[in-house]
Structure 1
Amino acid sequence: MPTLLLIDDEANVIYSLQAGLESDELTIISARTAKQGFRLVEQKHPDVILIDVRLPDMNGLEAFEKIKELDPRIPVIVITAFATTETAIEAMKRGAFEYLLKPVDLHQLREIVTRALELRRMQNVPTRFDETAADAVPGDDVIVGQSLVMQQVYKAIGRIASQDVAVLILGESGTGKELVARAIYQHSKRTKEPFLAINCAAIPDSLLESELFGHEKGAFTGADRQRVGKFEQANGGTLFLDEIGDMTPTTQAKVLRLLQEQQFERIGGQQPIRTDVRIIAATNQDLEAMSAAGKFRQDLIYRLNGYTITLPPLRERIDDIPLLVEHFLRLANIKLEKHVHAVAPEAMSLLTKHPWPGNVRELQNVVRYGVIQAVGEILTPDDLPTSVRGRSDSPIARPAEELPHWVKRVRELLDSGAGDIYRTLLHEFDAAVLQEVLRHVNGNQVHASELLGISRTTLRSKLESLDHPPSEPSGP
């Protein structure tokens, strides 16, 4: 279970934060002085630290530097009662994960702690390969596959990991691009330095530039304090830019300049800031096609693909499916406390024949679903979702009252003599699917795009088109 260390000299602050953060999935330990905190860092090896900048035995910056000496990669969240304190800003420059103002908003803090724990996991949990998968447990990250195409991926990681050049990882959603990025980092010369990740599709366009480059106080409405961006925080380390195809042209230009000159300015700033960061970028989009359409800079592509690794979709490595199923079955059994130890041949046949548009991520979800459904020790075809099992009967042969909704709708439009049937049905289908998926993920567009197997840009485009429906189909 992950551990968070609170370092604050105010007992009431420790009490309230501990009460608000502690759960069955997070242990909280605390210290009243910096020196007590150092001892706990050495003894307990916490995953995240939350520290006040004013402590009785040491100022916050000195404490921060000592913590970084003890564990240079631990995410440190700084809290302060002073919005303009230079200590907090300097801590951010030197690699603090975030800083917050007192009184702390617990909802915001929980979100930041969650992100910090995920960063810690990505930095510390090794990305393992399939020869070590047999003893994997939930939380481990394993790249599974022995097919020829995956052997080429492993060789590519080995060739480029120790070379200090930019890497571009290409592949459909769900193929494991983040795992490969972390494997490159963990086998690189920068493995002792920070590893930060940012999903360019998960952050609104208006905020992405600030998240990457930071901003000065007063640079724009709402910029009430200076912010240090990821490029500055990751100095000396590695920055993983996921879904880089969703980056706006303005931000693309700034990233290009940074790659060319290894320097940048914060938004609203005039002072050039030098940084030494290795970039690993990933996308599920065709950057060359986007460049031809004027949506992505060709010169940025040249800078990003110092070396390119292309991950195969699952449908192109069918031989790996039994290995993956075995791996996910073992993890699901541990997580769900079940005892499904085998897969029936008929079920495995269905799994190997499915096209897997969501790739490995979809397969993992299907196996977990099957383990939940299974009532014995063998996963059977009946335990699999209908999307994998398919249908043995033809809906056209059934009575009209038993027809699926969309077949009925086609007949309605045909009977009415309507025109433009395909566009009408496509619009209605998009509306139904997107509404249901967004409801399932509580409106989270990033999660929705992953489940749908489309980019967030495509999702946004579809949602915008739904605001302008086609005209009602007319008769002849």
Structure 2
Amino acid sequence: MDDNTPDGNDASPQRQYSILVVDDEPGMINFLQRALSQRHGQVDTAGSVEEAAPRLSHCLYDLIVLDIALPGRNGLEWLHELRSEGYGGDVILITAYANLDTAIDALRGGASDFLLKPFSVAQMLNAVERCFERSRLRRENFVLRREVEEQSTAVEGVICQSEAMQGVCDRLKRVAPSSATVLLTGESGTGKEVAARALHKMSRRAEGPFVPLNCAAISSELIESELFGHVKGAFTGAQGKREGLFYYAQGGTLFLDEISELPPAAQAKLLRVLEERRIRPVGSEQEIPVDVRVIAASNRDLRQEVAQQRFRQDLYYRLQVLEIYLPPLRERTDDIALLSRYFLDLLSARLNVPMLDLSPRILARMSAYDWPGNVRELRNFIERSLILGWFDLGPDEHDIDSNGDGNDELLEAVEKRHILATLARCQGNKSEAARRLGISRKTLDRKCTAWGCE
């Protein structure tokens, strides 16, 4: 076998991957372990399927290099079994005895690549690199799909000039390099996801994935499976193995929004994960180590939730290692003009509509409003104004007292019309309407109750 490495591959990768080599030939085991460990830190080995299978319960291997001819179950049989159970990792099949039919069976069975012995180090390393590139793209695509599905309204970076938010930015910069858990608090719409993304981008995990989850959007029956994954048959409908969000966030950041909505059982399991850095998929007896930074957020006062026994005290203290409070927009009115101009520029280009003039009179009226929906409400107001072609602040300024009294009521009337129109377009489906409006279902229910239009 040729030990020469492929040209242009001398630089070490940005991230080291874990590999399991399964072969019953000691010489091949030593050859592969020596060749792969120089480039990819963790390389474990096994001499049979029976020895290899239990290892998958203890490590999230990025790749399996699997010989076909093995004592007991052969590699091709195990590959079919792994795929039927929902295993989604890459598998390179190797063999000294093969024909075209074997290669076709291997690729149809879910092999990522197929190498015939004897092969060179360069051939194996190139096959491995192709697998890892596909793995990286799968993870990125998963994260992008989630962002599209959730239609996140987060902007790139924290837009601010107020003293209150400058203090928040300073804390974010100090906290970012740490791997400690962070708790972001503040009213709904204050930009907690924006802050979480900023933390991730400034951290040492910036090259890893950022995986967001709104805990209130997942049913209590499925939240544990969503977070930790499950094995085949773990519950009704679990027809195969599925990885959880902790798996997809490996090496990066998992953002748990509305953490107060986690059911008690999931709170207990999350606490254990934060303390031990290991997860146990639903229905599994094995624990798996994970390397994920957790950032949590809540628009509720978790201390009150603890006092009312709706949230675990020990989990609260574990999340509160580093706490950052994001002030409401009414406490940072210096940012209204800056944010409005940013949204006008961003959304006018996205909607392909003319820019609106943000006059001092309009800004004064906007600054007099409390913005209970905070930055999210401001963004929606700017988007709505661009679509309409004017800032719909209510009656003409002559109908309003010179000191601005009445602005709250006028903007609330605009908000009510917009929400009711959205509900009508959604045929009364409140969950869909809340998604389109960028607010929680509970917020929409509360407003409809106040307006007497449930």
TM-score normalised to structure 1 length: 0.59
User: Does 2:431 correspond to 1:445?
Assistant: yes
The one-character-per-residue Cα deviations of 1:282-328 (angstroms, maximum 9, x if unpaired) are 11111111111111111101111211111111111111111111111
Of 343, 352, 359, 2:367 maps to 352
Unaligned runs of 5+ in 2: 1-87, 92-105, 115-125, 402-416
The one-character-per-residue Cα deviations of 1:415-473 (angstroms, maximum 9, x if unpaired) are xxxxxxxxxxxxxxxxx9998764445635276278495x5456679999xxxx9xxxx
8 Å contact from structure 1 (residues 216, 227) kept in 2: yes
8 Å contact from structure 1 (residues 167, 279) kept in 2: yes
Secondary structure of 1:342's partner?
coil
Alignment map for 1:19-418 (pairs within 5 Å) = 55=107, 59-60=111-112, 66-67=129-130, 69-70=132-133, 73-74=136-137, 76=138, 114-115=145-146, 141-340=156-355, 342-374=357-389, 383-386=390-393, 392=399
Q: What CA distance in whole angstroms lies between the structure 1 residues aligned with 2:297 and 2:227?
A: 16
Q: Label 1:147 to 1:268 Cα distance change in 2 as closer, same or farther (>3 A).
A: same
Q: Label 1:332 to 1:456 Cα distance change in 2 as closer, same or farther (>3 A).
A: closer
Q: What CA distance in whole angstroms lies between the structure 2 residues aligned with 1:393 and 1:222?
A: 59
Q: Label 1:366 to 1:290 Cα distance change in 2 as closer, same or farther (>3 A).
A: same
8 Å contact from structure 1 (residues 73, 194) kept in 2: no
Question: Which letter maps to 1:347?
Answer: I
Q: Label 1:265 to 1:366 Cα distance change in 2 as closer, same or farther (>3 A).
A: same
The one-character-per-residue Cα deviations of 1:332-351 (angstroms, maximum 9, x if unpaired) are 32123333352222211111
Q: What CA distance in whole angstroms lies between the structure 1 residues aligned with 2:133 and 2:176?
A: 26
Q: What CA distance in whole angstroms lies between the structure 1 residues aligned with 2:112 and 2:314?
A: 43
Q: Label 1:358 to 1:61 Cα distance change in 2 as closer, same or farther (>3 A).
A: farther
Q: Label 1:253 to 1:337 Cα distance change in 2 as closer, same or farther (>3 A).
A: same
Q: What CA distance in whole angstroms lies between the structure 1 residues aligned with 2:129 and 2:312?
A: 42
Question: Which letter maps to 1:244?
Answer: I
Shift of 1:146: 0.7
Secondary structure of 2:216's partner?
coil
Q: Label 1:292 to 1:117 Cα distance change in 2 as closer, same or farther (>3 A).
A: same
The one-character-per-residue Cα deviations of 1:41-66 (angstroms, maximum 9, x if unpaired) are xxxxxxxxx99997589932789963
The one-character-per-residue Cα deviations of 1:87-106 (angstroms, maximum 9, x if unpaired) are xxxxxxxx6977xxxxxxxx
8 Å contact from structure 1 (residues 201, 246) kept in 2: yes
Q: Label 1:141 to 1:433 Cα distance change in 2 as closer, same or farther (>3 A).
A: closer
For these two proteins, the number of residue pairs brought into alignment is 325
Q: Label 1:236 to 1:343 Cα distance change in 2 as closer, same or farther (>3 A).
A: closer
8 Å contact from structure 2 (residues 196, 295) kept in 1: yes
Q: What CA distance in whole angstroms lies between the structure 1 residues aligned with 2:395 and 2:247?
A: 46
The one-character-per-residue Cα deviations of 1:171-192 (angstroms, maximum 9, x if unpaired) are 2121111111111111111122
Q: Label 1:447 to 1:240 Cα distance change in 2 as closer, same or farther (>3 A).
A: farther
RMSD: 4.1
Shift of 1:369: 2.1
Q: What CA distance in whole angstroms lies between the structure 2 residues aligned with 1:249 and 1:277?
A: 22
Shift of 1:69: 3.9
Shift of 1:67: 4.8
Identity %: 40
